[in-house]
Amino acid sequence: MPDMPATTGERRPPKGFKAAIRRAVARKFFKYLVSKTKNFSHTTWLGRPIWQNLFDIQTIQETIVDLQPALIIECGTNLGGSSMYYAHLFDLLAAENRLQSGRGRIVTIDIEKMHDLSHPRITYLIGSSTAPEIFAQVKAMADAAAASGPILVILDSDHSMKHVRAELELYAPLVTPGSFCLVQDGVIDVLPNFAGGRPGPLPAIHDYLKTHPEFEIDRERCERYLITHHPDGWLRRK
Ligand SMILES: C[S@@+](CC[C@H](N)C(=O)[O-])C[C@H]1O[C@@H](n2cnc3c(N)ncnc32)[C@H](O)[C@@H]1O
């Protein structure tokens, strides 16, 4: 909708005022949405729990379709909904003959097994994402997949700054050029609803970027749907 023309004598709002109002309204809506949905903890994908902000899984879907990763590495399986969602996206692309050969596998890691799901595209690993024996298995899968296509990393496990920083050090180097490391849930450091969990992913991201100029924040992806659980979370490997 076009802006109303200013009438004679009308005092124009100061520069940036409208943008600030829009941001404040979005933030208010976001706070309410998080409390109304109990932080998306009852969201489902095909009847199974998936613990994701709906706006963000749309951005992830668009990225997966554009990128067609050979391998998605997910830290934080939980009830298995997100890895199943990624597998189903690959299945849909394959059903339309749009999935490139050698693409479409997922490895997902959790300290605990909380589901009885299985899917031919998904490898489930149990253990800490930062444990050497777990990382060695993921690294072997990444080395094997890198010749077939992009590797996308999604960090959604323990969201403490220390753990995320350690995961970034281990997993970001597995990202292929042009692909992404999505660091989830920097919202913890931004919305008052999550103040108890700080410091979280956001300072870990900023600290990592200080010494890793091979990555840049993809602002278009971070801000695509105005509200996001992953502020500054889409790190693109140049
Ligand atoms: C936010 S949930 C993941 C949600 C899931 N990706 C989804 O969208 O449905 C975080 C998960 O990380 C797991 N976790 C916590 N610490 C971990 C660690 N050190 N390594 C791997 N997983 C961990 C928890 O057990 C929990 O299931």
Average confidence (pLDDT) per 10 residues, the chain, 238 residues: 48 81 91 96 97 98 98 98 98 98 98 98 98 98 98 98 98 98 98 94 98 98 95 98
pLDDT at 9: 54
CATH topology of domain 17-237: Rossmann fold (3.40.50)
The predicted model scores a pTM of 0.94
Binding site membership of 82 for ligand 1 (Cβ less than 6 Å):
yes
Residue 59 in contact with ligand 1 by CB distance below 6 A: no
CB of 51 within 6 A of ligand 1: the answer is yes
Q: How far apart are CA 139 and CA 14, in angstroms?
A: 53
Which residue's CA lies nearest to atom 27 of ligand 1?
78
Query: What atom in ligand 1 is closest to the CA of residue 80?
Result: 9
Q: What pLDDT, on a 0 to 100 scale, did the predictor assign at position 2?
A: 43
CA–centroid distance, 98 to ligand 1, in Å, is 31
Q: Using CA positions, which residue lies closest to atom 22 of ligand 1?
A: 110
**Which residues are CB-neighbours of 76 under 8 A, at least 6 positions away?**
108, 109, 110, 129, 154, 155, 156, 157, 158, 184
Q: Tell me the CA–centroid distance for residue 56 and ligand 1, in Å.
A: 17
Q: What is the pLDDT of residue 19?
A: 86
Tell me, using a 6 A CB cutoff, whether residue 167 lines ligand 1: no
Q: Which sequence spans correspond to the domains of the chain?
A: 17-237
